[in-house]
Structure 1
Amino acid sequence: MKKNNPPIKAAFNPRIYFIEINQITPLKIFHSKFKTSKKYRQILQSVKAIGLVEPLIVFPDPQKENNYLLLDGYSRLIALQSCGQTQAKCLISTLDDTYSYNSKVNRLASIQGVHMIIRAMKAGVPVNELAHALNLAPQTIINKFNLLTGICDESIKIMADQEVPLGVFPFLRQMKKLRQLDVVTCMKNLQDFSVRHARFLKDTSNENELIPLKNKKNTAADTASMAQLKREISNLRIKQKNIFQTFTIDSLKLTSIKHFIKRLLNNVEIVKWLAEHENEYLIEFNNLVNNDKI
């Protein structure tokens, strides 16, 4: 006989509330240079252009009636304050959990962002309006629109859910389809989409795997550079072997530490004490638990 499982309890009230900003208390304090960061400037510009899209997540303050603790949305809260807003759209959480809303997030991958820009421009949205809303230069929008030119469909599918720097794509365009696909697969398996890694894989490719450059002549300097590159590759492989020998143990230790810190940050009293007395530790703890690569 099958057991009747209890219904799953929602983690927040689905209704959106408009709450006075002065009734919301952040649980963390960012560095003074936070407002100069690129991410914050983009959020601020988006709030100015189209308003708040994603509601803040708050939890009723057990010590103050009609007040709330901010679980997620610090950047959006500061942006609203900078725009002179007095109220914010909020979802009220049923749990005082600061971890899930920051860690269990389907973040927008690079290629997904490019597809959004392509669709917007094809729908007739002017480049200047897109640039203004995203706090980007118009030329950057144009570059993103053309970013996937020369990239095969199979490689695009592999990178669809990955965070890939813009500097990787010029190296991929220099490769033929099969080599491009091989390189992208390798980068995903190693979870390393850095520009340096892309340059390394491109430089170690055979000539018949690359798209020929027009009017390129090999010189003595090119030969010397290639010899130096081979020596560096040899040294890199030795270092890589040494790292692999200690990686498993170090990874296990770090996972255990991260799990313990998550439990600490789920305690509102601990978070409030750290914010008041050891804010630098709180910032580093948040950076650690929000790092999806660990």
Structure 2
Amino acid sequence: MAKAKTSITTENRSGSAADAAAKEQRTEMPLSDLHPFEGHPFKVLDDELMEQTVESIKQIGVVSPLIVRPDPEGGFEILSGHRRLHAAQLAGLETVPVIVKEMDDDAAIIFMVDSNLQRENILPSERAFSYKMKLEAMKHQGTRNDLETTSRQVVGKLEAADTIGEQTGESGRQVQRFIRLTNLIPEILDMVDEKKIAFNPAVELSYLKPSEQKEFLEAMDYAQASPSLSQAQRLKKLSQEGGCTLDAMCEVMNEIKKDELDHVTIKNEVLRKYFPKSYTPKQMQDTIIRLLEKWQRSKQRDMGR
């Protein structure tokens, strides 16, 4: 929805609490009248949970109504219920229950973010963009209130981030760190969602220029490794100093990490191919040690010849 939209005017508002309540009653609405919230940061995935939702809707319908607001350009914008709408479409429904609320753009953004943050599993990219949207809406509300009541101080970035953090159980600084992820190019942000790149290194990588981030993907592919926090911090420093070239990034990414010096990890499914199913992890370890000792003695004999 275009930001040129304005809040509902006093003339459009009901003059009584009864009329306002009536406007928010549950009603059935054609799916064709509904459209997603512009810039909706939460992904609607065709996963196992979606399949379960579709089957539930086929059996008992949509139990919880969608929350929508009127769109001056036509139809209604969804504030809460994007997954339910998609499931209803897959289930073959023509209408869904909705509750219509009248909100201005800032209030709508805050409502949309808050209603979606109640979900259990939220991706880092979803938190990043939803926190950013809410932060900007809160700042805009603070600016408008400051214009209307000159005694009020404008809401600052950290103050608003602290407020968001209190509502989500995080510090204001952590909220700002999530927002930093919105500076990542889509390919790297997808890797963060897929846990191919850890959160803390990703925050440091967000300070790289987009062109440097693209070259970083080449360096990461060349090294066949994900960056540690210290490596990402060095890349950030290289970028700040103007020396973040592809060669420099490859050199950093090819370094052996400290944890790699201390640990060797072999996946269980790889080991299991070489042992009877009845073997316990202890038996597997003992067998590996015996074989390594035998190999070492063999190498020592070869060197003594």
Q: Higher Cα Rg: structure 1 or 2?
A: 2
* TM-score of the aligned structures, taking structure 1 as reference length: 0.32
* TM-score of the aligned structures, taking structure 2 as reference length: 0.31
Larger RCO: 1 or 2 (CA < 8 Å, sep 6+): 1
